[in-house]
Amino acid sequence: MLQSDVRTPEIPRTPSVDDFIKSYFKNNLHIVDVRASRGVPLLLTGRSIITDQNLFATEREMMHDPLYAHAANWKLRWWAGVGFFAGTSLWALALQRTSQEGPFQASEMQALAFLPTRLTETATLSKAVGRQTLLAATNALDLVQKPAIALSRQGLVLEFNSAASRIFNDEIRVSNKRLVFRDREANRALGAFIDRSRSTSDAAALSVLPIVVRRENSAPVVMQIMPVDGAARSPFLGARALLILNDLGSARNADPRLLRQIFDLTVAEARLAPLIAAGASPEKAAEMLGIARETARKQLKSIFAKTDTHRQSELASLLSRL
């Protein structure tokens, strides 16, 4: 099955054409595929099935085409494409025949005519199920306040959660379905990953180091690249990676109720501890809580004792693990 605009080595195929398809991509024939340049416009104008006769005036012209000349090495000559849609994306079920089998006949074209509607229904459903799988993953991460962005093999943004949208600005944003950073080094690193993704098997592990996105007026964002599994990897959706962003400039305060339960803090201490852990001085925290500075200092001393910490950085490290 071939997508009309972007073809990748992981296209679904039967074993009988596996070697030919591997060579097709290795020799970059997917870039100059005449079936796409001439056949796609025909499918978009209403034809449901196309053959070699729709692409070439003569068989001689056909055999001089680079793709067909290459296919002859596998004794493949004749071809038919059954057009169908996965949502709004055009695909074709590509059927190859040997020289001996001959071109597709009118009766065989009629037999194939029932496929486009059924393939469209199946592919569209597969794409929808894959998208729901992605949504489930990004929504689950949203519940724990983790920004997450799903990317396709081509590097297009498929989904992002609310936590991700909250950190978007002129330094990290989505433009034309692409994730863009002001940090040039981060842009290069993401581009290198996408280039690898295009040419790497879906079965291969994503051994990618986290990408650090540096910002001018706030702490960096550290982006982990995780693989996507299950229905989201359907060829009709093409999800490849889930980006999980850790905003080092975001102060996620621990729940005061949890602090009281774990460390036996008082209500007042449980309100003060997250502020101190987030970097506020005792004086600033006292001002924020509307209490006396001396009161804040006494409460902080008690917090250190109950949490077995001795300084602000230790308390911050402890609470961050909650």
pLDDT of residue 322: 76
Average pLDDT, the chain: 89
pLDDT of residue 222: 92
Tell me how crowded residue 269 is: count the other CB atoms within 10 A of its CB.
20
Contact in structure between 120 and 87 (CB atoms under 8 Å): no
pLDDT of residue 237: 87
Residue 242 tokens read as 């889930």
pLDDT of residue 46: 87
pLDDT of residue 202: 60
Confidence label for 203 from pLDDT (cuts 50, 70 and 90) = low
Confidence label for 144 from pLDDT (cuts 50, 70 and 90) = confident
Residue 47 CB contacts under 8 Å (≥ 6 apart), including other chains: 54, 83
Residue 206 tokens read as 């994503």
Using alpha carbons, select from 60, 12, 5 the residue that is nearest to residue 33: 5
Lowest mean pLDDT among 262-266, 272-276, 303-307: 272-276
pLDDT of residue 255: 78
Cross-strand bridge partners of residue 90: 85
What are 213-266's pLDDT values in tens digits? 999 988 889 999 988 877 888 888 888 899 999 887 665 667 788 899 999 999
Contact in structure between 54 and 47 (CB atoms under 8 Å): yes
Confidence label for 188 from pLDDT (cuts 50, 70 and 90) = very high
pLDDT of residue 238: 84
What are 276-295's pLDDT values in tens digits? 887 788 998 899 899 999 99
Tell me how crowded residue 255 is: count the other CB atoms within 10 A of its CB.
11
What are 40-65's pLDDT values in tens digits? 999 999 899 999 999 999 999 999 99
Q: Which residues of 189-226 are buried (b: 16+ CB within 10 A; e: fewer)?
A: bbeebbeebeebebeeeeebeebebebeeeebbebbbe
State the alpha helices, DSSP H only, in the chain: 18-26, 34, 40-44, 52-55, 59-64, 66-71, 106-112, 115-143, 162-165, 184-199, 256-263, 267-277, 282-289, 293-307, 312-320
Calculate mean pLDDT across residues 33-44. 93
pLDDT of residue 219: 81
pLDDT of residue 205: 56
Confidence label for 158 from pLDDT (cuts 50, 70 and 90) = very high
Tell me how crowded residue 169 is: count the other CB atoms within 10 A of its CB.
11
Lowest mean pLDDT among 70-79, 223-232, 296-305: 223-232
pLDDT of residue 211: 93
